[in-house]
A = this chain, B = another copy of it.
Amino acid sequence: MTTADTTMTRLADWAGDLDACPVRQVLDRIGDRWSLLLLLTLKDAPQRFNALGRAVPDISRRMLSTTLKTLEADGLIWRSVEATTPPAVTYGLTPRGLSLIDALGPLMEWAITQTPAILADRRRAG
């Protein structure tokens, strides 16, 4: 058995309201350019706002702010404010966020091993 037959992965199971399909739910969450990158950065250790900006160099402050807010609203990261002046705001993974990264392990391993062959095929296909 090579396929994930134990999970509900057939579209037919969600016919009629595809937007409720977990596949779309999760892709809408982490399929954007920044969410997963930020989660992986926070996996190493909790970090502050500007440190995250430096860890993901090509993210704008606007997207850093909005993406963090979404991740927090979804319970994937926590946000802690020290009311010093200037304030120090720290972000970190929640258990749920960590469990998401765990669930992504096989996918990332697949990406690492398969990407070279895919790029070769793509060049061949034009």
Contact = CB atoms under 8 A, between A and B. Distances in A.
Interface in A46-76: 55-58, 72-75
Contacts of A121: 73-75
A114 B99 CA distance: 10
Contact of A112 (B7, B11, B74, B75): B7
B75 A10 contact: no
B125 A73 contact: yes
Contacts of A7: 105, 108-109, 112
B96 A103 contact: no
A25 B115 contact: yes
B22 A74 contact: no
Given A9-B105, A74-B122, A96-B117, 8 more contacts: A7-B105, A11-B56, A18-B37, A18-B56, A26-B108, A26-B115, A75-B117, A106-B107
Interface of A: 2-4, 6-12, 18, 21-27, 29-33, 36-37, 40-41, 43-44, 55-58, 72-75, 96, 98-112, 114-115, 117-118, 121-122, 125-126
